[in-house]
Structure 1
Amino acid sequence: MEPAGVTEDGLRRVSQRYVVVLRTTVVVVAGGAAVLQAPADRLTTVAAVVAGLCAWSVVYVRHAPRPWLLWVDTLLVAALGLGQEWLVRPDALLDITNWVVALVLITAVAHQWFTGPVGGYLLAAVLVVAQGTAVGAIPIGLTVFGAAGLSRLLRSHLFAAAARADRAVAESTLADRRVAVAAARRADEREHLAMLHDTAAATLLAVGTRMVDGTEPWLAEQVARDLDVLTARPEFPGTGGEADLALVLDDVVRRAPVSVRTRVPRPVAMPASAASAMAAAAREALTNVARHAGVDTADLVVARTGSTVVVEVADHGRGFSPDAVAPHRRGVGESIERRMGRVGGRAVVTSRPGDGTTIRLEWPVD
């Protein structure tokens, strides 16, 4: 048997609390009616029985739905049914408004919410037999048993609906988890492709297109750094703790394939994951200057605007039209824009043909 879900557990608690309150209310109301309707010569007996019922109701409220309590309660109400000839006026014995019948009825109905089908019907049968033995009223017995059956039917339908709701929630949660796993896998794949683009692919492209002649002093260091990244030994800080963005960018500038004029305040403390993303995006921006701008210098400025850390990489080269960049090109889209998006930041590219390019990286501190 599968464990109950949150909805089913909540329904069980609420329904049982409601049933306990309903039964206690009926006991109080029926007890009051019993005292008011009792013949003068039986008033003391009826009052004592009602007082005992009220005392028992306190126990019932505190301990329901324990199995022993349900059986004791059933036997007590059955005893009232057997003795109703001494507790009810003779002219009311066969009336459905008989206060003992009211107690028998609410008890049979209430116990269906605390038991399984077999137990519930067995407890109801005890009450019906006791009632029928006392007054021989078959219609009243059938009414009690029918009310118990309707109570059981209502309970079954409600709990079946609650179980369906729990299954729907579980299936939705599982689907969300699968989507999250798939998204994480796609993010890992994108990060891997961005890493390849930023490292080995970029270096090979520079060599293959004769952007470098192999004698540059930074090329050997660039190749070593690419190998470190591809073998999971990155020079950037990890994802935990804090890092000084200024120090991380110093290394990027030192290894850049173009000359970089910098204006960087010190220190610029921020989470290591965000610093790593901004540094990688800045490195890609500087690499793009060497590849595409037609100039050999660039400017890198770091500032804090309100609660936002800003890194700008600008050049005065040939520029381009951002709208004309093909979707499959990963330099700006994957290595810069999406990389910043994954750490909660953003990248804004401003460029026009013949008017240079500015890439603005933003990360909110608060």
Structure 2
Amino acid sequence: MKRIHKERDRLLRRLARTTAIVGSVGAFACLLVPGTTAGSELAVATALSIGIAALAVVHTVRGSLAAAIVLVAASVVLVFVLGSASVLDPGASTALAVTGGVTSASVAPTLVVRPRGPVLVGTLAAVVLVGEWAAALWFGHDLLAVAVVTAVGWAVLAVLAGWLDNGVGVAAARIAEVGRAHEAERLASELEAQQRQDARVLHDTVLATLSLLAHSGVGVGAGALRDQAGDDARLLRQLRLGVPLDGGSNAIFSPGSDDDLLSTTFESVRQRFARMGLDVSWHGAAQLALPREHLDALVGALGECLENVRRHSGVFEADVTITDDEHTVRAMVTDAGDGFEPAGIDPARLGFAESVVGRLQAVGGRARVFSSPGSGTTVMLEVPKA
């Protein structure tokens, strides 16, 4: 909002400066018409015109109220100088009108948008009109047309500035409304993403354990079930308390190093499935840097793929191969089990659609499935490095 108001003020200052300079030059040009003013009057009027233009620059550059007041006073003095002639030439009358309705009125755009600006602008306009009225009485000239031009000039510039200020206010309100709508949409998206993540975590941990219990833990020992239930309870406690599940923003995978975070993460996945009777062999020799959220997506999708192997393949062994290139990390999960027809996967199944595909798509990755009945299954998981 500050920027749009700064642009408004810059535009109004430029309008005021241009108006003052044009008015000063215009009035001076009228005075150059032969026979309009005497030599001494022309010299004084020239000095005043230059001074008024300088005051306009000072006022618009520094925002000086004092410069604006002095500019109006100088314009009134110029009215008296030009009105002092015994016979008021048409050129002098035009110069008076330009001075009152353009030069002096040039301060209106910048002042009217200030606090109590209309009152200030009205007061200064009244000063100029009173000066013209006093000059008319003092020198016996008819300056009614000049006064009308002066009043119209001040009114037009003040209304123009007020209209511009109102337009800026409306634009600022709409920008703020759009900003609020964007913020609401962002919060809704974050909430939806968090709900989807919570659903994935529940599906991959608690619901998987409950499924084992519902099937009497077939193929899994009682100790492994207790350990798994304990892990799930700790995970849910962390989620409930808002405790981060992992620290750091980057992770390294190195199959030969148990000290690296990503290796440790994969090792925990391997141990979990080993307790449930699935022997997972890890392959890969390079060290790979991954952002934290990409690591989480990859490990979560891997865990769901291994859970599908354990529950549906009919075998007790799986291979995970980690490879990478300049931009992408790939994890290939392979088993020699029963296989299936990929086209027959129900897209509404939470396990594959959310825990695998949804997870990877959230970080710009993807999943591909290669399988056929009786020929085993290979799932290719890909996540970008950045």
Q: Deviations over 1:36-90 (max 9, x none)?
A: 2365983244224313432443343133332222211111101111221347973
Match for residue 37 of structure 1 among 33, 36, 55: 33
Match for residue 332 of structure 1 among 352, 355, 358: 352
- Structure 1 CA distance, aligned partners of 2:207 and 2:356? 16
CA 1:109–1:195 in 2, change beyond 3 Å: closer, same or farther? same
1:84 aligns with 2:90: no
- Structure 2 CA distance, aligned partners of 1:282 and 1:15? 62
Conserved? CA contact 1:259–1:296, under 8 Å: yes
Match for residue 237 of structure 1 among 243, 246, 264: 246
Name the structure 1 match of 2:269: 252
Name the structure 1 match of 2:20: 23
1:193 aligns with 2:199: yes
Match for residue 172 of structure 2 among 166, 188, 196: 166
1:11 aligns with 2:20: no
Question: Which residue identity lines up with residue 57 of structure 1 in the other structure?
Answer: A
Matches within 5 A, 1:105-254: 105-115=101-111, 116-134=117-135, 135-210=141-216, 212-215=218-221, 218-232=224-238, 237-238=246-247, 240-244=249-253, 245-254=262-271
Unaligned stretches of 5+ residues in structure 1: none
Question: Which residue identity lines up with residue 183 of structure 1 in the other structure?
Answer: S
Question: Which residue identity lines up with residue 186 of structure 2 in the other structure?
Answer: A
Deviation at 1:276, TM superposition (A): 2.4
C-alpha RMSD of matched pairs (Å): 2.8
Unaligned stretches of 5+ residues in structure 2: 112-116, 136-140, 254-261
CA 1:217–1:88 in 2, change beyond 3 Å: closer, same or farther? farther
Deviation at 1:177, TM superposition (A): 0.5
Q: Deviations over 1:285-315 (max 9, x none)?
A: 1011111222222110100123111111122
Name the structure 1 match of 2:64: 66
* TM-score, normalised by the number of residues in structure 1: 0.87
Farther-moved stretch of structure 1 (177-186 vs 348-357): 348-357
Q: Deviations over 1:259-292 (max 9, x none)?
A: 1222122432322332222112111110111112
Conserved? CA contact 1:24–1:57, under 8 Å: yes
CA 1:109–1:322 in 2, change beyond 3 Å: closer, same or farther? farther
* TM-score, normalised by the number of residues in structure 2: 0.83
Deviation at 1:166, TM superposition (A): 0.9
Name the structure 1 match of 2:259: none
Percent identity over paired residues: 25
- Structure 2 CA distance, aligned partners of 1:285 and 1:41? 98
Match for residue 284 of structure 1 among 291, 296, 304: 304
